Amino acid sequence: MADLIAFQGIHGAYSEQAIRQHFGDSAEVFPTPGLTELFSTIQSGKVRYGMLPIENALAGAVSQAYELLMDSDLRIQADVVLHVHHALMVPPGTNFESIRFVRSHPQALAQCEQYIRRNGWKPVPWYDTAGSAKDLAENPLPDTAAIASPLAGKLYKLDVLETEIEDVAFNFTRFFVLGDDDPTLGEYNKTSIVFATRNRPAALYECLGEFASRGINITRIESRPRRNRPWEPVFYLDFEGHWHEPHCQELLARLLQRASMVKMLGSYPAVKTSQSSVGL
């Protein structure tokens, strides 16, 4: 029996599409209602892996995902970058000219705002992209369309009238595959950590200097509030390399000396993009 992979949402969600991109169309999936349930489902052993959305190129980071990573012992197995394409779908037999309303998650509606305005439709916020397709399929309305993934249109047997209707082509979402395993090295690897600095001048500068002095490229860094400790941020950071490599082990050892807290989130095979450096 194939390993189950959990995702947040209902069938047809972009997270499910990311699973099929990474694991193949035959992957066995397990939907969960929220991100908290996604983590607990993996930790319980009901599934082998989970697909966690971590950031979107347009909307930014998924805050809850970072908080859950901080509190969890799950390890990142891989990262997946999905090119998000929105599709316009209607109940079978509905004509393009009869559409007056279009429903979807507010973020998807915002990403297709010019397209919707150009056609003179009224946007209707819905709780979920895939949910807008599912609900429309169950209760067809002759003047209403949904915006969701092409996968949702296929699953709920809606007619997909147009695809790639998003206003901005550069719409990518990055996901982490989560599990209990320690993944093998890939051709290109990243390591994700979270750390906190000591309360003194130049503390962050000194920590980042450990990367610079070893020529280790930081691909992402973001500060977030530390829960239960007001005004004390933590830093989520990705860098090129695997912790098994000697120069990365040396880096982490030095970082442990300089920082007040360091937590490893995972070393994993990663997707290499042309925008993979923040120049630190």
Torsion sign (Cα): 261, 240, 57, 27? negative
Which of 7, 23, 39, 175 is flagged as catalytic? Answer: 175
User: For this structure, is 173 an active site residue?
Assistant: yes
pTM of the model: 0.89
The predicted pLDDT at position 1 comes to: 45
User: For this structure, is 96 an active site residue?
Assistant: no
pLDDT at 252 over 70: yes
pLDDT digit string (tens) for 139-187?
999 999 999 999 999 999 999 999 999 999 889 999 999 999 888 888 9
For residues 235 and 254, give the distance between their C-alpha atoms in angstroms, rounded to a whole number. 16
The predicted pLDDT at position 277 comes to: 47
For residues 139 and 75, give the distance between their C-alpha atoms in angstroms, rounded to a whole number. 41
**Using an 8 Å Cβ cutoff, are 205 and 280 in contact?**
no
pLDDT at 280 over 70: no
pLDDT at 56 over 60: yes
7 token code pair: 């995702």
Of residues 237, 234, 259, the one with CA closest to residue 191: 237
pLDDT digit string (tens) for 4-23?
999 999 999 999 999 999 99
Q: Any idea what DSSP says for residue 121?
A: P
For residues 90 and 72, give the distance between their C-alpha atoms in angstroms, rounded to a whole number. 41
Q: How do 218-225 and 144-148 pair as beta strands?
A: unpaired
List domains and CATH numbers for the chain. 4-83+172-179 (3.40.190.10), 87-163 (3.40.190.10), 189-269 (3.30.70.260)
The count of other CB atoms within 10 Å of the CB of residue 71 is 9
Which of 41, 94, 129, 173 is flagged as catalytic? Answer: 173
pLDDT tier at 279 (50, 70, 90 boundaries)?
Answer: very low
The predicted pLDDT at position 274 comes to: 56
Phi-psi map region of 103: left, alpha, beta (phi>0 left; psi -120 to 50 alpha): beta
The count of other CB atoms within 10 Å of the CB of residue 106 is 11
Torsion sign (Cα): 202, 206, 212, 216? negative
The count of other CB atoms within 10 Å of the CB of residue 24 is 9
pLDDT tier at 236 (50, 70, 90 boundaries)?
Answer: very high
pLDDT at 278 over 90: no
